[in-house]
Amino acid sequence: MDVFRVNGVFKRVDLAINDKTGILDIPFLTNKCRTEECISVFRSFKSYRSGELVHGEEKRDMGNTLYIGSLKSDVYFCAYEKDYEQYVKHGASLEDTDIKNRFEIRLKNDRAYHAVVDLMTYEDVGRTAFSIINRYIRFVDKDEKKRRSSWPMNAEWQRFLDLGENRKIYLTTKPEPYTFDKTLRWLARQVAPTWKLATKLDEINQTTVIKDMLDQAKLTKRHQQLLMQQALETEDVIK
């Protein structure tokens, strides 16, 4: 909101999905890309693997990073093994790291702008993130009897997408019961500063812009119900 108020621009926005249970298998997804079992708007992918001895043994699947799409484009995906990154940076045990993998949606310029508009419109990061993912890629299982566009969705990838259907559980905080105090806090944080500025301008310019706006504002049925609820005693509301 602050950026929009000052006519700013969004040069880059990242949306990150943290995998804490290991549902994403980066080497598996990389192999899917190599066998053309990733159907995508993107034309390219790159994969990197870091090798380092851990406890005297080399983990073959450690430190893998998969980029889907060109890093020079305004939208691309990056999936990597977050636990290994934390091991390298902080020496954290791979088993004890909370986040196993991370799937990032990296957006620039107009793509970033539209993502922010969607976030502000629906206030649901899960909806925004998974809508973008579903728009650009899907991992499938090869079926020689069918055209590539009709290959069935891979079960593990579908399991990951299913989190999007339950995004209120996995990706957002639990909704709080409505209270008028919550609305007042929102007004104080988001509206009051601008309201105060407009009121000062009314005083300076001897205008009544704010008063006229309030006089012309119409309460919806929901607002009227909330007004009645706030005016009634608790016992009357229950009745």
Residue 175 lies in a domain: no
Q: What pLDDT is recorded for position 78?
A: 93
**Cα distance between residue 13 and residue 10, in whole Å:** 7
Show the tokens assigned to 51: 């090798």
What residues contact 132, with CB distance under 8 A and at least 6 apart?
A: 15, 75, 105, 107, 115
Looking at 16-148, list the stretches that DSSP marks H as alpha helix, in order from N- to C-terminal side. 26-34, 82-90, 109-122, 125-136
Q: What pLDDT is recorded for position 57?
A: 40
Task: Name which residue leads in pLDDT, 15 or 234.
Answer: 15
How many other β-carbons are positioned within 10 Å of the β-carbon of residue 78? 18
Domain-terminating residue out of 117, 149, 170: 170
Summarised one tens digit per residue, pLDDT across range 132-181 is 999 999 999 999 999 998 999 999 999 888 876 644 333 333 445 556 67
Residue 223 binned pLDDT confidence (cut-offs 50, 70, 90): confident
Structural domains in the chain (count): 2
Summarised one tens digit per residue, pLDDT across range 28-67 is 999 999 999 999 988 888 877 654 443 444 444 446 889 9
Enclosing H/E stretch for 104? strand 101-108
Which residue range(s) make up the domain with 220?
180-238
Residues counted in the chain: 239
Q: What one-character DSSP code corresponds to residue 148?
A: G
What residues contact 131, with CB distance under 8 A and at least 6 apart?
A: 118
Q: Are 198 and 209 in contact (CB under 8 A)?
A: yes
Summarised one tens digit per residue, pLDDT across range 74-91 is 999 999 887 666 555 555
Q: What pLDDT is recorded for position 226?
A: 72
Both 113 and 207 in one domain: the answer is no
Residue 209 lies in a domain: yes
**Cα distance between residue 78 and residue 238, in whole Å:** 51
Domain-terminating residue out of 114, 142, 170: 170
Enclosing H/E stretch for 169? helix 167-170
Residue 123 binned pLDDT confidence (cut-offs 50, 70, 90): confident
Mean pLDDT of all residues in the chain?
79
Show the tokens assigned to 49: 């693997």
